[in-house]
Amino acid sequence: MSTESSSKESASFVGTLPKHVAIIMDGNGRWAQQQGKLRTFGHKAGVKAVRASVRYARKKGIKALTLFAFSSENWKRPKDEVTILIQLFNLVLASEVKKLNKNNIRLKVIGDLSAFDKKLVEKIRKAELLTENNTALTLNIAANYGGRWDIVKAVQKIADDVKQGCIKAEDITEDSFNQYTCMSDLPSLDLMIRTGGDHRISNFLLWQSAYAEFYFCETLWPDFDEQKFDDAILDFCQRQRRFGQIGAQVSSDNQGQG
């Protein structure tokens, strides 16, 4: 786990770039309050940071970017803020999907969509269909998503398949379980970033983050630009990922692959 780097130049990467990055986009409300404005103003300002992050990930060749837009717990927020968030989601879908498609970016929305109105769900499905064959980057938007929800849904699907005789309980493995989760078709999560200064993952990608690296920075989300993203990637590339081994083993394996 790390705080933000002091790098001011484009990162000179010495390690392997992450294939899959997730971001908890925190700090919109506080950013707005610092400007003397309503919290909802911060959510609107955060769209610029979303664009910058997508642009950066596409440019660097990152294969998957997952953004935590709206958690299953966010319904507890003030009603007017929730309304603005949903409206903003609608507007972004309308204004950005063609740009994503033009840049060969695939859009997926993960989460429990049953809580959204039918018109919004229809827009989501159309956007996913339009971009489904794009290959440069998969952009996952987590909306009404929770890590525990993802795991429970996977267990329910497995239980149903066992009941139907499609699989046997004793044949369930970590790999087969993963196939029932929201992002089974994507690379394993390498790096999770959280902006805004808090050091927790807030029920985000619990299954997927088992061996992810974590990067926490003080930057409030609307101020998270390509340079800040670069800092996080540089920090990631300087780490040694051991996956249960010791450092000497990892170094030996890397030399053998050279």
Residues designated catalytic = 26, 74
For 104, the token pair is 């060969």
What does DSSP assign to residue 17?
A: P
CB atoms < 10 A from the CB of 84, how many?
18
C-beta separation of 143 from 109 below 8 A:
yes
For 192, the token pair is 């999770």
Torsion of CA 238, 243, 247, 251, to 10 degrees: -70
Pairing of strands 137-145, 64-71: parallel
Buried b (16+ CB within 10 A) or exposed e, 137-164: bbbbbbbbbbbebbbeebeeebeeeeee
C-beta separation of 32 from 39 below 8 A:
yes
